């Protein structure tokens, strides 16, 4: 996650944590909180409308993948190549 995305996500994460601390612990409320947190971890714009920018994960992944391809190291598991 990019630093600006981390700052944007801090408030919603804190709000969810406070709701759980205050007794909102029914199974569906916990599941909802976990789902929102997972979506924010995947890409904050899935949850936050005012979140701009791309994915921090892609910023890390693409240069690594380029290096692997350049060194002729497989980037896809052999069992998935024929699919």
Give the Cα-Cα-Cα angle 16, 30, 40 (nearest 5 degrees).
50
**What pLDDT does residue 79 have?**
60
Confidence label for 25 from pLDDT (cuts 50, 70 and 90):
confident
- Tell me which H or E stretch contains 81: none
Using CA atoms, how far apart are residues 12 and 51, in angstroms rounded to an integer?
A: 12
CA angle 32, 35, 36 (to 5 degrees): 85
In the prediction, which pLDDT does 37 show?
86
**In this predicted structure, which of 1-5, 6-10, 22-26 has the lowest mean pLDDT?**
1-5
Q: Report the C-alpha gap between 39 and 9 in whole angstroms.
A: 11
Tokens at 6, concatenated? 């981390």
pTM of the predicted structure, to 2 decimals: 0.55
Is the pLDDT at 82 greater than 60? The verdict is no
Tell me the domain boundaries of the chain.
3-74
């Amino acid at each position: 996650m990019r630093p600006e995305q981390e700052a944007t996500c801090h408030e919603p994460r804190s709000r969810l944590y406070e709701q759980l601390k205050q007794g909102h612990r029914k199974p569906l409320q916990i599941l909802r909180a976990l789902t929102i947190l997972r979506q924010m971890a995947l890409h904050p714009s899935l949850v936050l409308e005012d979140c701009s920018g791309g994915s921090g994960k892609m910023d890390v992944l693409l240069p690594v993948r380029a290096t692997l391809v350049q060194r002729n190291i497989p980037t896809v598991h052999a069992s998935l190549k024929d699919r």
